[in-house]
Structures are given as C-alpha cells and as structure tokens.
Amino acid sequence: MPAPLIVLVGPPGSGKSTVATQLAARWRVTARDTDADVEVVAGKSIGEIFVEDGEAHFRALERTAVVNALGEHDGVLALGGGAVLDPVTQEALAAYSAAGGVVVFLDVSLAHAAPRVGFNTARPLLLGNPRAQWQALMEARRPVYERLATLRVSTDARGPAQVAEEIDRVVRQAPGTPSQDEGSGS
C-alpha cells in the first residue's frame, strides 16, 4: 500500500501547499493537497462549502479526503489547517507516523502568517476579526500539531524553497527515511 513520503500540517499561512510543491519538485514526486481534493469532490470552493453546506459537511469531506490520500498518495501531502482536529484523522496520522511516516508541523507566527493569508473571505474560519480568529485557531490546534508531528519547522521570514530545503536536509539525515532513495531534483 502506498504511503506519502511526507505529510505537512500547520495553520493557515504556514505555507503547506507551496512547500509541498517545492518538496515534490525536489524529490521528483507529485504534491497533493487535501483542500484541493475536497473542492474537486464538492465541485465548489471551500468558502462556498462553508456558506452553503456548513462546517460539519466540510469536515466530513475533509476527513474522507485525508484518509484517502494517506492510503493512495505516494508523494508529498499537505493537509488543510483544521484537518488534524478530527479524531479519525489523528488516528490515521498516528498510524502513518508509527509506520515510519514523517509528519511535519509548519509553524508560523501571526506576524508572518498575516501577509500570506491576507485574512480574506477565502478562509471562512477567519471572518470577523481575522487576527483574533487566527490566534484562537492556533491556541486550539497547536497542541494537536505538536503531538502529531515528528518534525517542526518554522516558516517565519523564510520562503517555501528555504523551508523545503531544510525539511529535505533533516529528512535525509534520518536513517531509513523514504526520501533518502529519491532524487534530489537540484
């Protein structure tokens, strides 16, 4: 059964999608984003799902997308920021890690996330007072990100290529990691 080479988790604005793309190019594999998977299945944007169907419906679609991707994808996988809150997803990530998988928590401060996120309506959980909402999300999610992660990397003041380079370096140094056998792409 295929398994992702690496799974990226973190809050909005941490760079999961762009770092996934950078790592995938570096390792000559494909990148997959569960938020994109949800949009394809639903036939509409995440913002539209939240407004038209509600957060509970989105989370159910997200849970399915994560479980499917963990079982099917053999490249770099980026999860939506809130996916880790689902108990089924937590169990699936714990099993993936226990089998030798690498879960990277891309950590970012509010000061660095704000310009990346733009705090716009494409992020429905950040409506209202976006900075306060982001802080509240992080307070709830940080312990889960930290518990599930096998590696934490700060993305503050760093571009996606720099973050991908650090992840590549750290993962390659670990004995028996899947990416050791992959091409460097550089």
d(CA 157, CA 11): 16
Residue 131 in 3-state DSSP?
helix
Please provide the DSSP assignment of 86-111 as one string: SHHHHHHHHHHHHTT--EEEEE--HH
d(CA 97, CA 103): 7
Task: Compute φ and ψ for 29, nearest 5 degrees.
Answer: -130, 180
The sign of the CA dihedral 49, 139, 128, 154 is negative
- Looking at residue 128, what is its pLDDT? 54
Average model confidence (pLDDT) for the chain?
84
**167, 14 contact by CB (below 8 A):** no
- By percentage, how much of the chain surpasses pLDDT 90? 58
- Looking at residue 134, what is its pLDDT? 65
What is the average pLDDT across 127-153?
A: 81
Residues written for the chain: 186
Question: Is the predicted pLDDT of residue 184 greater than 50, yes or no?
Answer: no
Question: Is the predicted pLDDT of residue 185 greater than 60, yes or no?
Answer: no
Hey, what domains does the chain have and what are their CATH numbers?
6-180 (3.40.50.300)
Show the beta-strand stretches assigned E in the chain: 6-9, 31-33, 76-78, 103-107, 151-154
Q: 18-32, 68-82, 110-124: lowest mean pLDDT where? A: 110-124
- Looking at residue 12, what is its pLDDT? 79
- Looking at residue 139, what is its pLDDT? 81
pLDDT tens track for 28-52: 999 999 999 999 999 999 888 988 9
**78, 17 contact by CB (below 8 A):** yes
pLDDT tens track for 43-101: 999 888 988 998 899 999 999 999 999 999 999 999 998 899 999 999 999 999 999 99
